[in-house]
Amino acid sequence: MALHAIIEYIKYSWKAKGRHGTHSPFVYDFVEIILQDRANLVIADPVVYSGLSEEHNILLNRIRQRYNYRSVRRLPDDHVVDADIVILPAQEPLLWASLAKQNFPLLKNDSMVFVANIHDTAVHTHEWNSMRMMREVKMSIDLYGAGLLLFKEEFKEQQHFILKDTA
């Protein structure tokens, strides 16, 4: 693990909250059901997303099942207009900004962007922070090993959460 990743993990550990550390019903539910599996969520048809770790595949499948997401697209390979979940290329953080500028305005309400390895290097962390501040992003969730960007019109103000990944 690189020094940057270690420093980021220490910062993450200090700031990360559980379900009781947030006032958002969505985030409370996310922690309760997705991360802690309090509802014993059963994955009907698990999908393996190439290039992602087993942990990230499990997380994505749990998200798909809980929020009834059907279409998953991977940038830069796929069109995102009808996507429920968009996966950004984890090993190419220098592409994230241009992909975000081109594609985030095309995402529908309730879409989610999944980004793996958001704290691997200083470039990863910088690009993650830049994307989560874009006006189209209504909520970001930092799980240290992955980040989620949500596009939900019901969230009137941008919200940023750093959550303990207890799965």
Delimit the domains of the chain by residue range. 3-162
47: tokens are 């999908």
Tokens 């539910």, located at residue: 29
Indicate the average pLDDT of the chain: 91
pTM, two decimal places = 0.91
CA distance 107 to 98: 15
Tokens 């241009």, located at residue: 98
The pLDDT confidence band at residue 124, using thresholds 50, 70 and 90, is: very high
CA distance 3 to 67: 36
The pLDDT confidence band at residue 68, using thresholds 50, 70 and 90, is: very high
Mean pLDDT of 45-54: 92
Q: How large is the C-alpha radius of gyration of the chain?
A: 15
**Range of lowest pLDDT (15-24, 51-60, 117-126, 137-146):** 15-24
